[in-house]
Amino acid sequence: MSTEITPSANEVRQLNFIEEIIEKEKKSEELPIVHTRFPPEPNGYLHIGHAKSICLNFGLAKKYNGKCNLRFDDTNPTAEDVEYVDSIKEDVHWLGFDWEDRMFYASDYFQQIYDWAVLLIKKDKAFVCDLTAHEVSDMRGNPNIPAKPSPYKNRTVEENLDLFERMKNGEFSDGSKTLRAKINLASPNMHMRDPVLYRLLRASHHRTGNKWCIYPMYDFAHGQSDYIEGITHSICTLEFEVHRPLYEWFLEALELPLPRPRQIEFARLNLTYTVMSKRKLLELVKSNYVNGWDDPRMPTICGLRRRGYTTESIRNFAEKIGVAKRENIIDVSLLEFCIRENLNKKANRILGVLNPLKVVITNYTENTEEELEAINNPENANAGTRKIPFSKELFIERDDFMEEPPKDYFRLKPGGEVRLRYAYYIKCENVIKNTKTGEITEIHCTYDTESKGGKTIDGRKVKGTIHWVSAKNAIECEVRLYDRLFKSENPESGQDFKEDLNPDSLKVVTGFVEPFIISAKAGEKYQLERIGYFNVDKDSKPDNIVLNRTVTLKDTWSKNLKR
Residues in contact with ligand ATP by the rule CB under 6 A: 39-41, 49-50, 52-53, 236-237, 268-269, 276-279
Catalytically active residues are 41, 268, 278
CB atoms within 10 A of CB 13: 14
Nearest distance, CB of residue 65 and ligand ATP, angstroms: 22
Residue 315's SS3 state is: helix
Q: Based on DSSP, count helices (H) and strands (E) in the chain, helices before strands.
A: 12, 25
Q: Which is nearer to ligand ATP, 299 or 416 (CB)?
A: 299
CA dist 517 and 526 (Å) reads 9
Q: Which residues contact 33 (CB under 8 A, 6 or more apart)?
A: 64, 65, 66, 67, 232
Which residue, 285 or 536, has its beta carbon nearer to ligand ATP? 285
Residue with smallest beta-carbon separation from ligand ATP: 49
Nearer to ligand ATP, 84 or 409 (CB): 84
Max CA pair span of the chain: 103
By C-beta, is 72 or 526 nearer to ligand ATP? 72
CB 384, min distance to ligand ATP, A? 41
- Select 79 or 402, whichever has its Cβ closest to ligand ATP: 79
138 alpha carbon, distance to own chain's centre: 39
- Using the minimum distance from each CB to ligand ATP, give the nearer residue, 49 or 491: 49
Instruction: Calculate the alpha carbon distances from 405 to 410, 412, 440 in Å.
Output: 9, 9, 15
CB-nearer residue toward ligand ATP: 1 or 457: 1
Least distance to ligand ATP from the beta carbon of 393, Å?
A: 51
Q: Which ranges constitute the DSSP H helices of 109-156?
A: 110-122, 133-138
Q: Which is nearer to ligand ATP, 40 or 303 (CB)?
A: 40
* Alpha carbons 142 and 139: distance in angstroms, whole number: 9
CB of 558 to ligand ATP, least distance (A): 39
35-38 and 67-72 beta bridge pairing: parallel
Across 421-563, where does the E strand assignment appear?
Answer: 425-433, 440-447, 465-466, 468-470, 475-482, 506-513, 525-528, 532-536, 545-552
Give the integer Cα–Cα distance in Å for 163 and 127: 9
How is the beta sheet containing 468-470 ordered, strand by strand? 465-466, 417-420, 425-433, 440-447, 356-361, 393-397, 468-470
Least distance from ligand ATP to the Cβ atom of residue 10, Å? 23
Q: Name the minimum Å distance from CB 495 to ligand ATP.
A: 20
- DSSP for residue 426: E
Indicate the burial class of 367 (C-beta count within 10 angstroms; 0-12, 13-18, 19 or more): exposed
CB of 115 to ligand ATP, least distance (A): 25
What's the CA gap between 43 and 83, in Å, rounded? 9
Segment holding 94, helix H or strand E? helix 82-94
User: CB 215 → ligand ATP: shortest distance, Å?
Assistant: 16
List beta partners, residue 480: 508, 548
Q: What are phi and psi of 276, to 5 degrees?
A: -125, 0
Nearer to ligand ATP, 120 or 323 (CB): 323
CA 472-477-481 angle, 5° bins: 135
In angstroms, the CA 458 to CA 545 distance is 42
Sorted by sequence, the CB contacts under 8 Å of residue 205 that are 6+ apart come out as 74, 77, 80, 107, 211, 212, 215
Residue 48 or 396 having the CB closest to ligand ATP:
48
Q: How far is the CB of 69 from ligand ATP (least distance, A)?
A: 12
Residues forming beta bridges with residue 353, ordered by sequence position: 512
Edge-to-edge order in the sheet of strand 525-528: 348-350, 525-528, 532-536, 545-552, 475-482, 506-513, 352-353
Please give the DSSP secondary-structure letter assigned to residue 269. P
- What are the angstrom distances between the C-alpha of 106 and each of 61, 76, 77, 111, 220? 21, 10, 12, 10, 11
Q: How far is the CB of 236 from ligand ATP (least distance, A)?
A: 5
